[in-house]
Amino acid sequence: MTTYHKPLSDYYNNKQTEKSNSNLHLIINNDNQLWPSHKSIPDDEKEGQWYYDRNDMDYNLEDTRIESIFRSPDIDHHELLGDLNDTMMHISQVINDSTLFSLTVKLGLGIGLSVLFLLLIITIIIIYREWLRRSIQWKNDTDYHSYHCNSCLEYAFGGKTTIKKMTGIRIGRLQNHHKDENDRYHKCIYDIENLWLLEKSRLVVFHETKLGSGEFCNVYKGAIEGLAPICKVNPSLATSATFKDCMCAVKMLPSIADDIAHADFIQEIKFMKSLKYHPHLISMLGISIDDNDNIMLLIEYCDLGDLLHLVRNKKNEIIMNHENEHSKLRIKDLVSFAWQISDGLEYLSGIGCVHRDVAARNILVNAANICKIADFGLCRLSDSFIYTDHDRRLPLKWMAPESLRSYEYSIKTDVWSYGVLLYEVFSFGQVPYAFLQTTEILKFLNSGARLNQPQYCPINIYTLMLQCWQDEPSLRPNFTEICSILRVILEDNFGHYGYMKAN
């Protein structure tokens, strides 16, 4: 039996009552009517306060039984019954309020648990999806680089690739955004039988003799024993001793080279492999692999180095001896260089190639004063007239206005760059737009301003520069026209100079 104890004074307006030896026993009959009766109060309850008791656990008033109420004889029984009914109604209200509160608590608890459960499910789903994404990404990276390795082999070596044994060759890095990015590389597994491959036993690399270096490139002097692989690819060259037991330049990437450098390097190998032999283009002699499994590109060795350093180093000689027929380098040699370079670019434009990096630093000169266009890392073959790219490492000072504005490249943007190359050559290696920040170049060009005529530059050469720098691409000459212009300049000013001997 559950008993609730409540002082009667709480329900009778705090009336003062006296203790009594009698009590009123109330019974609820089947008609829910209260009937009073008297019985004596046990001795052990005489000193207690007056209470009411209930028998059951339910809050339903209909099931409530009032077992005993202690009262004062001064209280009228009918008044007591009336007050008791009011009290029971109040109790019912309290019980209902308690029930509502309990239901509210239970409902809130249920909602809270449901929300927590839902959050748990969402968290599990997110974790699973992230795990699945990483798994798929890992697989894609593996598949991509596996495919990329095969593509690299095709690019670098051409023809069919035979896998004979497992050997690691480092050709690129996995893309990632972590602190150890520079240390993560993907290794391709293969061994190659190919016409372009030179056994490393027949190659000597002179690491102490660095011929040049770029942002992500080192070039060392080397030596090839026997015939270079190019003689196998182009048998007509085998009859010449030019590429037998010859010196070569060995181009390789440093350990800090990023993904873009690797991609450009592979692109350069692919492009050079596709080229036919041309006297004014640097030739790829072959490819080899060093002890650390790095790919090495073997190209022609040019004794005099790049054209930019050559004209800088020979500036005084050219100025002081430009009329001296016995001088090693004269102004007319510079004009001949200009024609040779335009001849090589005419060939490239004829096969739909956009070089995108025509500059004096990318022209090599051999001991016979023959210029050869090099560095094909940015070369692109395009079927359309305009090629669009957003490369992050582009030579801004050599770029045409349309390239600076919208990253558009074409044969005519190479013509613009060729005009800047002429400025470099006839200014003896001055930096173009040295008086401007790179961010100011486009504004300078849009105003119609152009580079000034170098001090020792012939007027007809400067006129050609200005033609190359026409703002409207269609107004610029093509390389066939440039070759013709320079041929006329050589014949009219220097007689039979022998500029055709390179062919």
Residues placed in the known binding site for Mg(2+): 362, 375
Name the 3-class secondary structure at 64. Answer: coil
Sign of CA dihedral 53, 55, 60, 63: negative
List, as residue ranges, the binding site: 361-362, 375
Report the catalytic residues: 357
- The vertex-393 CA angle with 272 and 297, nearest 5°, equals 30
- Could you tell me the two tokens for 335? 């004009």
Annotated binding site for ATP: 361
Q: For residue 388, what are the β-bridge partners?
A: 408
DSSP 278-299: -TTBPPEEEEEE-TT-BEEEEE
What does the alpha-carbon distance between residue 217 and residue 201 come to, in Å, rounded to a whole number?
23
Dmax (CA) for the chain in angstroms is 151
Task: Classify 38 as helix, strand or coil.
Answer: strand
- Taking the CB of residue 106, how many other CB atoms lie within 10 A of it? 10
Q: Using a CB cutoff of 8 Å and minimum separation of 24, what contacts does 4-13 make? A: 4/52, 4/53, 4/54, 5/51, 5/53, 6/51, 6/52, 7/49, 7/50, 7/51, 8/49, 8/50, 8/51, 8/52, 8/69, 8/70, 8/71, 11/83, 11/86, 11/87, 11/90, 12/83
